[in-house]
Structure 1
């Protein structure tokens, strides 16, 4: 099965923006952001392997496996130039796509990306992975953001519907296990080869919430030179919802 992606405004002459969601999410979760972009901005919004409508697609696994699947799909679409934006696990995937295809990536925008340090709140991610009903998802998501307004109800409905698919929760648990490692008796995440990103020449912006309960904002200091780093005061991990305007501003500055 091939990857699912929602494609918008494909006839525009502008360079497409590719959006990669985080662990356990689905592509429609980008709606708060895409609704604020220019009407003629071409978009490719993926459901990552093992998620949503890509539940049975090839490429289920850690960020490296997913990056390979995304690159292959972009090749099938004939894209020779693109902008990339990824959140959390999708940020790790976007980083690896940029590393492997630097000549095709016009810009890279990362929202609290995975793989920038060992520490990760894997217990919260596991609670999120096994949540299938709207109430369970709302509770799990509350533990991933800073205190404040709850998630958009329509977004919760779409996410809950995706979790009802046979095997959806098991697939998420397998993906979670694929990027967690144990070191000195502690469980954390595998890390990206960050030194390899030096000198790519890709304009990069990094956003991170100072109250992120999943990935500590100190991991923002590991970004490569010449990247623009923005710490979003008081925001948690779910920047697409918690800091929509900051995310849109960062993306628009790259396009």
Structure 2
């Protein structure tokens, strides 16, 4: 037995199981072939049996999760009243003259652009089927205009000297209300557009269109109604 108990004691000491002081004493006695008491043998045997005893199988305890009973939720329809907001816009009455000035200014800009395009492409602005005021040198597409109408001006100079021709319109009071210098073609022809509206066009009456080019001068009157 001394060899067996010695091996067991060494195993217990290596694994630090049991009372180290007692085991060291038993180890020393076994190595020196000294007498080992039954108490010491039983102590070593008990520790070895506990060490080598197969572990008891672990009992898995599965706790069942309580089944949640879902209560049907009542769907509460929330009715959000739609408020119709009425926006009341209060417009301050504008002076009729100012409105016409604004419209006339914008329209004149459009007319100038159109005249440049027409002149560049060599397209003459001629009669539109209405009564035409014509003198050859200076032509109008109509004899009368209302506020906001487009005035088509064209003509043909007898000379091609000079690059531009001067056109102007005076109202019934003789006030200059529109003027433009336009490029004349090599053939002497010219054309442009104007808007019957804007500053100076407030009153109805007889208006005068004038043309000046080199030594040539011409004028035509037309009726304007605002």
TM (normalized to structure 1)?
Answer: 0.23
The structure with more helix, counted as a fraction of residues = 1
The structure with more strand, counted as a fraction of residues = 2
Higher normalized contact order (CA 8 Å, seq sep 6+, divided by chain length): 1
TM (normalized to structure 2)?
Answer: 0.25
